Amino acid sequence: MILRLAFGSLVARALTVGMTILAIALSVALFLGVEKVRTGAKASFADTISGTDLIIGARSGSVQLLLYSVFRIGNATNNMTWESYQDISSRPEIDWIVPISLGDSHRQFRVMGTTPAFFERYKYRSDQSLAVRDGAIMSDIFDTVIGADVATTLGYEVGDPIVVAHGLASFSEHENQPFRISGILEKTGTPVDRTVVVSLEAIEAVHVDWQSGAQIPGQATPANVIRQMDLEPQAVTAALIGVKSRLQVFGLQRSINEYPQEPLLAILPGVALQELWQIVSIAETALIAVSAMVVITALIGMMATIFSSLNERRREMAIFRAMGARPRVVLGLLVLEAALMAAIGAILGLALLYVGLFIGQPLIDSAFGLWLPIEAPTMREVWVLLSVVAASAIVSTVPALRAYRMSLADGMMVKT
């Protein structure tokens, strides 16, 4: 009955109480939403590459190798020679190996030379394969397959010609060898979306008339001549490796790192991703801190509401006292009331979050390639909700103690 009376008292002040609850609900929804985005980002970050056991490249830092080979951020300081690549690919532990050659660009997008095996071996978001949305994967030297973002940003369709620029700033374009778009990939939410994929031979082909980064003046080999040439590459930037048995990963990694002919580096993608995430985690912490502040602000707002309601509720307290309620019942009533408001706010916030997720999930996925799963609240989220309720009960003891003293002084007589 006391619970019912507390509830009735809240309903009687529906407007102010409603606003307070709304503030709590919004802050809780924001906090949980930030949590969702954070864990979603972390997961999709870790989902960028899966199924690959090792990434190898010229010796640099593991994060750097991961950044340029998977995220297409930054550049390789060095390539690895084709001899080393072939030597390693002939090792018995290796199940498959996919070479990657980087360095050219198309508009703002990176061009990646690789073999058709890439489409089969590259996996993301727990073993999902790349899929072609339109057209087919390349069958000719001058065929390209472009990622979904490339297609939408530049408005390309299958069959359109594109020109690849040498280097990353597009001041010198390989105009003699225009490429044709043979296929467009489905959106993946990975850097593949922002990549122009060509064959490894194509990378060599566009550089036939080039030497030391500059075009040889007056020389322009026609495409049909290039087709006849031997286009075996001199070097590749990196390679993705799958081993036959997981047990061999560390042995292979060590022997590649100690490769005598050339300084190479082999990394485990998962470990390197962890290292990279640790760098990003400062921003993550800041984000949590800001949304926690919002929750605290809402709770302080609630405290202010309770304070301002005390005067108009003096009579209510006096009636409770006259009926034999001890002052601490009055105190308990206010704390209970605050906890009730916070509980309703928390549940409403959770509902808001799910409504938001339901509406926002496809939009966020297509805009940012970030997949936020809709699932039952995690233990962590339940703890967040419980802490909000507990914190509100603690915060409300400040006005409740004031009410306690007021009702001790007033007794059952209120002269207003």
Partner 1 sequence: MPDVAPILQLDDVRYRWPGRTPFGLHVPTLTLARSETVLLLGESGSGKSTLLSLICGTIIAQSGSVSVAGHSIASLSAGKRDRFRAEQIGLIFQQFNLLPFASVRDNILLPLQFAPERRSRILNLNAEAKRRCRDLRLPDDVMTAQAGTLSVGQQQRVAAARALIGTPPLIIADEPTSSLDAATQATFLELLFAQSRAHGTTLLMVSHDARLSPQFDRVIHMADIAQNVRDTA
- Where do contacts with partner 1 occur on this chain (CB under 8 A)? 1-2, 4-5, 8-9, 11-12, 315-316, 319-326, 329, 411-413
Is the four-CA dihedral 9, 12, 15, 16 of positive or negative sign?
Answer: negative
- Three-state DSSP state, 46: helix
Under a CB-based contact definition with an 8 Å cutoff, are residues 404 and 353 in contact? Answer: no
CB of 319 to partner 1, least distance (A): 6
Q: Collect all residues with Cβ–Cβ distance below 8 Å to 239 and sequence separation of at least 6.
A: 55, 56, 57, 80, 85, 88, 89, 97, 98, 99, 100
Q: What burial letters (b/e) apply to 357-372, b meaning 16+ CB within 10 Å?
A: beebbeebbeeebbeb
Kindly tell me which of 74 and 411 has the beta carbon lying closer to partner 1.
411
d(CA 349, CA 38): 18
Kindly tell me which of 11 and 286 has the beta carbon lying closer to partner 1.
11
Under a CB-based contact definition with an 8 Å cutoff, are residues 74 and 67 in contact? Answer: yes
CB of 399 to partner 1, least distance (A): 19
Kindly tell me which of 9 and 115 has the beta carbon lying closer to partner 1.
9
CB of 23 to partner 1, least distance (A): 22
Kindly tell me which of 12 and 168 has the beta carbon lying closer to partner 1.
12
d(CA 21, CA 315): 24
d(CA 91, CA 6): 75
CB of 401 to partner 1, least distance (A): 16
d(CA 111, CA 97): 19
Kindly tell me which of 71 and 320 has the beta carbon lying closer to partner 1.
320
Kindly tell me which of 5 and 43 has the beta carbon lying closer to partner 1.
5
Q: Collect all residues with Cβ–Cβ distance below 8 Å to 166 and sequence separation of at least 6.
A: 103, 104, 172, 173, 174, 206, 207, 210, 213
CB of 342 to partner 1, least distance (A): 20
Kindly tell me which of 180 and 314 has the beta carbon lying closer to partner 1.
314
CB of 318 to partner 1, least distance (A): 9
DSSP tag of 259? -
Structure tokens at 381: 């989220």
CB of 392 to partner 1, least distance (A): 21
CB of 341 to partner 1, least distance (A): 15
Kindly tell me which of 133 and 326 has the beta carbon lying closer to partner 1.
326
d(CA 68, CA 80): 14
